[in-house]
Chain A
Amino acid sequence: MDNLIIPATDFTPSVNFQIQSGHLELSGVSRPEDVAGFYEGPLEWLSKLEESIQNKPEYKYEIPELRFSFKMRYFNSGSSKYMIQMLRTLRNLTKFGVDVNIDWYFEEGDDKMQDDGEDLAEAVELNFNYIEV
């Protein structure tokens, strides 16, 4: 699998999915004009990863740990639907024995961003690590 790198714009987050290190990161602002179009790439990448591990279980040993860092400054409600889809795929990976860690960053005093993380974590039934920066 290739890495997935999408630079940030004023309206879309940067995507940096590194397959070798297992470090995946989404950061910045997310209120794309075409939200479905923007998240198509990251969702496809994650589905491909899930498919690879499903079809070839030993592939998981090539990924020591999957760490997804959400470093969002803001995301609109339209984006959250796609974020939950990404999280669902990550949750599915745990069923194949992949060690998945979700780091949810929020700026000091940004209670709303922390709450948003907690709501998503509850909705998808995954534990997040909350990191105040």
Chain B
Amino acid sequence: MSGRLNSTSTSVLHYKGKFTFERIGILLNDLKNKRETYQIDPVQYKKLLTLMIEILENVLKYSDHFEVFVLDHPDFQPEFELILNDDGFILTSRNPVKERDKNEITRRIDKINTSDEDELKKIYRDTITNGIFTEKGGAGLGFIEMAKITTNNIVYSFKPIDKGFSYFEITLHINHLDEEDHG
């Protein structure tokens, strides 16, 4: 789905449904195909691509909730949207997560959001050196990547659903490039 939301905001990409590795490939290809239409600068495109991969792979980590929860709660299907506005691009993902994952996600993002550039580098080094990696993820490296690229806070929220699940939303803002940054 794409189309103008209002005079200054355009939905570039939108997907709601089951997330798979193949689906991520399709969405990345959609972005590639829309580069020209939206005249996305090569440097900005690379940043968007990286952000999309990290945010979509984060949703994919929780794809095992699809059969056990989402099929019975179709309003809370995983979702991704890329919006273009006057300030830049906004990437939003939504997906159900278990309540037990909520505290760890909150801790990681809050730590990142309260860090300056140097502290973020230190968190990256500490995480990649000593981080506890699970089968599901990279110990929060994806969130660090998101913050490094956007240089803005990761906006997030949890909306309680039921059966121990919350609907987790992440919003990333990436500003348009300054003149000297154009590739």
Judged by a CB distance under 8 angstroms, whether A57 is at the interface is no
The 8 Å CB contact of A123, one of B57, B129, B145, B149, is B129
A77/B129 in contact, CB under 8 A: no
Chain B hits for A122, CB < 8 A: 121, 125
Interface size on A, residues (CB 8 A): 19
Question: What is the distance, in angstroms, from B108's C-beta to the closest C-beta of chain A?
Answer: 12
Interface string of A102-133 (1 = CB under 8 A from B): 00000001101001000110110000000000
The 8 Å CB contact of B21, one of A33, A77, A81, is A33
B128/A123 in contact, CB under 8 A: yes
In the complex where A33-B21, A84-B128, A123-B125 touch, is A78 in contact with B46 (Cβ < 8 A)? no
- Binding site secondary structure of chain A: helix
Identify the closest chain B residue to A85 (Cβ): B128
Question: What is the distance, in angstroms, from A92's C-beta to the closest C-beta of chain B?
Answer: 15
In the complex where A81-B133, A112-B149, A123-B125 touch, is A31 in contact with B53 (Cβ < 8 A)? yes
B54/A77 in contact, CB under 8 A: yes
Judged by a CB distance under 8 angstroms, whether B5 is at the interface is no
Judged by a CB distance under 8 angstroms, whether B50 is at the interface is yes
Chain A hits for B129, CB < 8 A: 84, 123
The 8 Å CB contact of A77, one of B25, B42, B142, B183, is B142
Judged by a CB distance under 8 angstroms, whether A80 is at the interface is yes
